Structure formats: C-alpha cells, structure tokens
Amino acid sequence: MEISRRQFGRLATAGALTGIGLAAGALPCPAYAQRKVFKMKMGTPFPTTHPGGSRVVEVCDLIRQETKGAIDIGAFPNNQLGGESDMDSQLRSGAIEFMTTSGAVLQTVVPTSGISAVPYVFKNYDHVWSSMDGALGQYIADAVAKYGIYMFSKATIDNGFRNITTSTKPINSVDDLKGFKIRVPVTPLWANAFKALGASATTINLPELYSALQTKVVDGQENPLVQINAFRLYEVQKYCSMTGHVWDGNLIVANAKKWQAIPKELQAIITRNFREMALKQRVDTFKMNNDLVGEMGQKGLVFNTPDGEPFRQTLIKAGFYTEWKAKYGPEAWGALEKAVGATLG
C-alpha cells in the first residue's frame, strides 16, 4: 500500500512529540543495586533486518540500562524461541515473559484478538492508528486479559499492509486466485478469507516459508513488503501484487502473572520504553515499505497494483463477513465497526 509523504510527515512528527512528552513525564530511576533482578525473555518472529526485530533488541538494552540491570530482558528475534504459535503457548505457560505477536495468530487462543486483522477494513495508517491506539486497541487488551495475557496499550508495532507474491503469475483479479496454492500464517481468519476467494490456502509457520516456496509446496504467499524483504522471499518469488488486503501489526504482550510480580516503578519504565519503541518502529516500517518497491524491483520482483474492490465484493458475496461476525460475536464486531466507521457484512 502506497504511503504519502504527508502521512509520513504527520506520523514522524506525532512520534517525536509523543516521545518528548513521555520522556518529560518519565519517572526518575531509583537505585536498584539492592533490589531483586528480574531476568526475563522476550521473543519476536521478526529478524533484526526488520524494524520489529531490531527495535525489540534495542528496547531491551535501553530498559536494562535505565534500570541498572534490575530488569534484564533477553531479546530473541527471528523465531529463535519457536514459531509464533509456539511462543504464544510459552507466554501463557510463563516459559517466556514478553513477546510480540499478531492478533490474528493469537486468536487461536483468544478468539477476538484478531478483530483488527479482518481483510479490507482499514483504508490507511491514519485509520489504523486512531483505532489501535484508541477504543479498538483497548477492546483487544481487555479481551486478552481474560486469558492471563497483559497487552501494552498504545504500543502496537507495525508490520504493514499485506500483499501477495507469486512464482507463476501476477494476481490482477479474483479469477487469478482460483485454485492458487498460497501460504497463509497459522490463523483461520486469513485461511478462510483466501478460501472464500477461491485459493487453495495452506497454513505454514514463518520459519518454514522460504523452503515451502523454494520447493513449490506452495506457489505464493502474502506478507507486508518489509517482511518479504527481511526473509528474502524475492529470491523465490517473481511477482508482487500490491493487494493491501489486510493491515498487520504485532501486539506487545506479557504473561500477566509475571508482569504483576514486577514492582510498579519498574512497570512504568518498561511501559514507557515499549511505547517509545513502538513509535520509532512505526516510522521505520512506514518508510521501509515505501522504499522497498524500488529496491526489490531492482532485485527482479515485478510489481502490479490490482483494484481491491472486486476482492472485497467477492468476500461479501461468499458470506465471509457474515460468518466472521457470527464467530467474533456482536460485541467484538461492533467494536470493529465503530472503529472503522462502516457497517461490515
């Protein structure tokens, strides 16, 4: 999805001003030398070539420095602790304390956590962040809290709008998806969407994706540009169709019991740093996704931009939105419709 310079300027300015406000209100750092050291782990599916991975590593270092080592969070990018679904399970059991996760993947545990990942509901980033930093984000935070998970509000990080890559042909119309073997993440929402569009959808964890494309287990996949670049998928794909069908972000979450065991003044430092990191990461991803069309084009990826409305209309006619409205329930669906300002399904 193309992003205007004006939008980027607004986002960067808002991030800078918010960061200044947060820093000005920061709590002074007490002396932690005599206090308990909280040694913890934070997992993320993103590699360090993705702002979601590099900024997580950075923020863990910053928290360690600010608390004089009282909070020592080891960062594990690039699925080092297992696939995202595995890390979700580890978080709930307390084997890891923090992670970033897509709400759409987490919804296999928390049914309504993926409400923001419904296809074709967000038009642009202004739409995304007013929703995720507002009432819709709070609704998701309240939902995951019931499952022993603490979500950091106003700290969702960006992955971008998802687009389809293929090794065989560009996707210009719904007909091009008929019978097409496409990989989707391990989430029923997106698998169901592509089946409704006529594709043959297969769920594969991210660490196995490159190999699955290389060996033709599937002929294509869908991801934001920054993810396509970070995992070098352009090496095993020829076409990239800028469908922008779903906005994808990662929630920053913690095991609720482990979080509650941390003293309040340390919680405040962690929360502030996560929020400041999220703002920086959003700007990074925003810029990268704009720049990568040219960069990956030079590496041989061929781009096209289909009209998204026929895809959305196909989902409506297939009963996709009606089905997921029933699955999510009227409360969650109402929160989504209120956030996006439209009646869906």
For the residues 243-256, what does the mean pLDDT come to?
97
Residue 242 main-chain phi, psi, to 5 deg: -80, 75
Same domain? For 169 and 156 the reply is no
Q: Is residue 345 part of a domain?
A: no
Domain residues for the domain of 15 are 5-160+249-286
What is the per-residue pLDDT across 310-324, written as a single tens digit (0 to 9) for each? 999 999 999 999 999
313: CB partners within 8 A, 6+ apart: none
| Residue 28 pLDDT greater than 80, yes or no | no
In this structure, the answer to whether residues 106 and 217 fall within a common structural domain is: no
270 and 134 within one domain: yes
Q: Is the pLDDT of residue 281 over 80?
A: yes
Residue 206 pLDDT level (bands cut at 50, 70, 90): confident
235 with 330, same domain: the answer is yes
Instruction: Based on the fold, state whether residues 198 and 254 are members of the same structural domain.
Output: no
Whether the per-residue pLDDT at 222 is higher than 60: the answer is yes
Report the alpha-carbon distance of residue 221 to residue 167 in Å, rounded: 9
Q: What is the pLDDT of residue 102?
A: 94
Residue 278: the pLDDT is 98
One domain for residues 186 and 273: no
Tokens of residue 66, six digits? 């600010």
Coil, helix or strand at residue 114: coil
Do 96 and 190 reside in the same domain of the chain?
Answer: no
Taking the C-alpha atoms of residue 79 and residue 73, their distance in angstroms, rounded to an integer, is 16
CA-closest candidate to residue 54, choices 284, 209, 270: 284
Q: Tell me if 202 is assigned to some domain.
A: yes
Residues 117 and 58 occupy one common structural domain: yes
Look at the chain and report how many structural domains it folds into. 2
Mean pLDDT of 231-239: 96
Cβ–Cβ < 8 Å for 150, 256: yes
Position 344 confidence tier, pLDDT thresholds 50, 70, 90: confident
Among 82, 7, 18, 61, residue whose Cα is nearest residue 285:
7
CATH of the domain at 296: 3.40.190.170
Residue 254 domain flag: yes
Q: Quick one: 180 and 316 in the same domain?
A: yes
Query: Do strands 200-203 and 98-102 pair parallel, antiparallel, or not at all (unpaired)?
Result: unpaired
**8 contacts: CB under 8 Å, gap ≥ 6:** 283, 286, 287, 290
SS3 255: strand
